[in-house]
Structure 1
Amino acid sequence: MKKNFEEGACTVRIHVSCIHLKMGENGRGGNWRNSFYGGIPSEAGRLNRLQILNMSYNSLEGEIPVNLSHCSNLKNLDLQYNRLVQQIPSELGSLSKLEILSLANNQLSGRTELIFPGVFPPSLYNLSLLTYIALTGNNFSGNLKPDLGIALPNLQILWIGGNQFTGTIPASLSNASDFQELDIPSNNFTGTIPISFGNLQNLQWLGASYNQLGGTIPDLSNLKGIQYLDLSHNNLSGQIPSYMVNFPVLKILNLSFNNLEGEVPIEGVFRNASAVEVEGNSALCGGIQELHLHACPIQGSKKHRKHVAFKLILAIGIPAFCLTLLSLISLYRLRKSKKRCLPVSSFGRLYHKISYEELLNVTDGFSLRNLIGSGNFGSVYKGKLGPVETTVAVKVLNLQKQGASKSFVAECEALKEHPTSKPR
């Protein structure tokens, strides 16, 4: 393989069998850097066996050559950190083997449909093998396609911060089962953090700062591999989820400048003030001392309210209980006394009740011919009562006589002691 690369204008004279062409620094750990300038040579499109094209960290200008789409075996296209402009050629949608597309920190522009296919150009929808997309620090705008995660099921890393993207974060990203990193800061995303992100068990990096995201933080408790979580400078509300103390490998947690409220936990990552940022949330309280938050008066007032409520219950409950108990005792004693002292009239319940009018009739108006005797307290008359004309004696008390009532009660008590007595 021959080359005539040197600092200055970029020219290419490479054998067409070239597989790897690296003219820049590897942005993910490499240690070489060049200073080429000018445009990307169109001759690069002749390298039909080329698999890796790395021209990152240079000063290349102009547009991305359309004929790069002729490199049908290309898997890695890295042009980050240059001065490239205009749009991404739709012809690149024919690179069906492309796995890595790194165009970060250029001056590229265009609506998102040019990258994440919508109505135009549909050819980019063929890049289903993409695992890594880096478009950070350009001038892209528009909405991300809602079914992005379905169109790119192998996607693992998506870095698109520092653009002008709008709309909501595609919930379909959870369809990419091996999704590991999402970095979307400094855009204009709205809506909420998708609930489906809780299913991304391999997610390690979630950076969404400086957007306009609202709502509460959803259930992300299954993200056991999360190491970096930055949701700062948004409009998030509610409390800090308690499950965050259980993230075993979380190293950076930034929730600053939102509208969060309530008590900051003190376990897990919250023990380390250098790993946690929560300032700019005026309604937060508690936490470890190093966070310099005010104490949580809400908890104190709750305890006070519980204490007052307990005293109130005692003050009302005890007298009410005593009053109820006394009422029950009085009712019990009243019923017991009624059983012991039955009224005189209860004796009559064993016999047929007879009206005064009947007595008057059977004695012919208490006539003298029916008088059978008299005493100190009254007179006794005979009569025939009922359909079988039972002979009865009717005593008429003279209540004006002192002791008449007592005499009547005594006679009733005597009858109680002799139940076999019957009227004649």
Structure 2
Amino acid sequence: VSFGQSSIQVLWLNDQQGGGMTGSIDVIASMTFLRQVWLHGNKFTGTIPSNIGNLTSLQDLILNSNQLVGLIPNSLANMELKTLDLNNNKFMGPIPKFKAAKVSYDSNFFCQTKPGLECASDVNVLLDFLRNVNYPSNLITQWVGNDPCGQPWFGLRCNNAKEVSMINLPNQKLNGTLSPSLAKLGSLLQIKLAGNNLNGKVPSNFTVLKSLALLDLSDNNLEPPLPKFHDGLKVITDGNPLFVNQPRTSPVPISSPPPLSGPPSPH
């Protein structure tokens, strides 16, 4: 059954039996006659569709107690609803200044506690990283607040200046693409993302990360070509099928020959 383009005005699917309904709620953005939507008490996932502002007749949107993720779209914040209930989900990022007459958003993972306050710049970068890998639930619940380095978030390390210096998330079932936003973290020394399901190309702007010494992308599904990185960076792409006829690692400078004897270096 598809609701897309339907003339339904009232959609009550709240508290469905058997554990609740699952899947995304993207279809509601095409149901432009909707006035009232009750979807609370289910297991809906994914983000709020960015074009939800198309629902110009909508008055009540009740989404509490689901597993919805991501940032609140500006189009939703600008809707002059009677009631908007976002409680008990997994929303992240800043709390916008809503135009709804009655709004609630408790029990989420926003970076701030008051509307209108922006997230820290490095938090915005990391949220964009999460968006590109489809908001994995194990990271959403551990990347909370507005300071990744206060008590370092899972998979991150920080330097003495409280800047993110390492992203260490191998074998975390990350599924998606690499966010170009990571290039804004100029303090990065190492990115370790081996053993995930990353696809697409390595963003060309990663070349601006002049302090980066290790980029381990082995055992993913990335595709060539690699950007032209600086000489001091070790890039590992072993185990990416599309790199099969490409250099497996970045060239090692020949000015440092290995010793003639002795045990091999650990890998």
Range class of TM-score, shorter chain: 0.3 to 0.5
Select the structure that is richer in helix: 1
Q: TM-score, normalised by structure 2?
A: 0.46
The structure with higher relative contact order (CA 8 Å, sep 6+) is 2
Point out the structure with max Rg over C-alpha: 1
Query: TM (normalized to structure 1)?
Result: 0.33
**Higher strand proportion:** 1
